[in-house]
Chain A
Amino acid sequence: MSAKSERTRSLTRAAATLLVAAAAYEATARSGYFPPALLPTLPAIARALVATMLDGSMPLHALHTLYRVAAGLALAVAVGLPLGILMGRAAPVEGFVLPLASALMPIPSLAWVPVFILWFGLGDTVSILIVFYAALFPMLLNAWSGVRAVNPLWLRAAAAMGADERALFWKVIVPGASPFIIAGLRQALLRAFIAVIGAEMIAASDWGLGWVIFAAKEFLNADVMLAALIVIGGIGFALERLAFGALERATVVRWGMVQAVKD
């Protein structure tokens, strides 16, 4: 059997699975065993999604969430990237930061939410700081590992060809560490996205996808909840596939440092 028809068969089966799963869900929802408020039918979920999209509330919630992720992530990169690179290049910095990072890293970012609420009040600050905390450590540790993983031969070769410190840094160390840095960024984004949903649920501001889901629970609006889940999944998928795929193709894949993943 050719690879192509094998692929077609896989796609058909995948589509069939999704259809069967959807049909099973719909049958359960309509069976009347469960209250429709808890298990809304698919058309009800679709209606909730379309309605919240059209009145502009869902896009606005998504924008709030994305703003918090972007702000926290930007802070984490601004702190974590230089500090990680410095740790890789200067032993005293490594000796000072590494024990602190190892002690703070295993604390789930959400554990800080109540403390941050007391310190900064409800609102954007808490969510942004929680995102910052969640995203900082993957960024920091990957930048540090990346710099340490730069082949020492490259450093010596560049130095022998007369590269000064600056050229060495920009032309050898940063590109050499970039696969790690991008991996760190991706991991940081993933953690940030998880953290922002949790922070929004607990630190109830009045906008944001996490808040929508949690607030919908109060009114037993399972349809709105599931609609918000779909939006969250869509954003997560888009960020992961589109943003990072493009970033990787533009940098490390083009430089030949990692193989392009075919799929």
Chain B
Amino acid sequence: MPELVPAAPRASITAERAKGRLRGAARTAFPFLVVGAAWEAVAHAGLFPPRLFPPLEAVGAALARLAASGILLHHAAETVLRLAAGFALAALVGVVLGIVMGRSRRAEDIALPLVSIGAPIPGLAYAPLFLLWFGTGNLTTVLLVAFVSAFPIVFNTWTGVKAVKNVWVRSAQAMGADQARLFRLVILPGALPYILTGLRLGLAQGWRILVGVEMLAAVPWGLGWLIFGAREFLATDVMLAGIAVIAVIGLALEKLVFRRLEEFTVVRWGMMT
């Protein structure tokens, strides 16, 4: 006979829960505090010139100054817009091409060699070529982001369409589905997990090179340019503030990417709990 425990009053349960959450937050904050303290100690010890190794309060001040004047928002907005434009282009072209390749043997034979030749070259290596062809500025940046993020999208969509079980296709056909319905009700849902994975991989890849491209393409605004331009003035505090903003944007992208990725792979396969 299990011992009966008197029900705890509601207030104490929520208090308990809040305390647990607080402890979790403290545990996450702890490593940052340690690293932050170490940074401060080194910065204030005077080992390095403060211009090159600014203390955290200087970085914070730079961040606040840039944010208050609205410059930071402008830089961040331009970067996010370029990413969005390039990614949208890549998603459109990549998904369509991937589906066509997955459905038609002929299209696959024609497109696959071209895609396979382009894929192993790091996207940034095309940057100077794009700069020569399309000039400096937004067009080059957006096209390059689109080009780079299209590869994982094409590959994953193609794989996804091919991974749709033949039995499903045949049973749908036997039940009288025409091409349009077959595509909309069987192939697209069947391939969707792969397509989503491809989109997230493509977004991550585009993000990773966008910052580098902004440094090379001499665009007037953008976080990559903010960091690169600050080098001229030895403004390490501005650079680190820019990197902090990049981290926040990247983290937001990665959170969306990662949750999905885990759901589709490790969790779905039951490899990890």
Contacts and interface: CB of A to CB of B under 8 A. Distances in A.
B20 to A, nearest CB: 15
B37 interface: no
Interface residues of A, number: 57
Contacts of B117: 18, 233
A149 B208 CA distance: 28
A36 B213 CA distance: 25
Interface stretch (B70-78, B171-179, B189-197, B227-235): B227-235
Interface string A198-215: 100110000001100110
A100 B207 contact: no
Interface in B217-232: 223-224, 227-228, 230-231
Given A13-B106, A96-B30, A202-B212, A236 B121 contact: yes
Where chain B touches its partner, the secondary structure class is helix
B123 A112 contact: no
Interface in A91-141: 95-97, 99-100, 102-115, 117-119
B132 A220 contact: yes
Contact of B125 (A10, A13, A145, A210): A210
Interface stretch (B2-10, B87-95, B243-251): B243-251
Contacts of B271: 149
Contact of B212 (A9, A100, A110, A145): A110
Contacts of B272: 145, 148-149
Contacts of B236: 115, 118
Given A197-B122, A216-B128, A108 B211 contact: yes
A38 interface: yes
A237 interface: yes
Interface of A: 9-10, 13-14, 17-18, 21, 38-39, 95-97, 99-100, 102-115, 117-119, 145, 148-149, 193-194, 197-198, 201-202, 209-210, 213-214, 216-217, 220, 222, 225-226, 228-229, 232-233, 236-237, 240
Given A99-B31, A225-B132, 4 more contacts: A18-B113, A95-B27, A202-B212, A240-B120
12 contacts: A10-B108, A10-B109, A38-B133, A108-B250, A111-B227, A114-B239, A118-B239, A119-B53, A145-B272, A149-B272, A194-B122, A213-B129
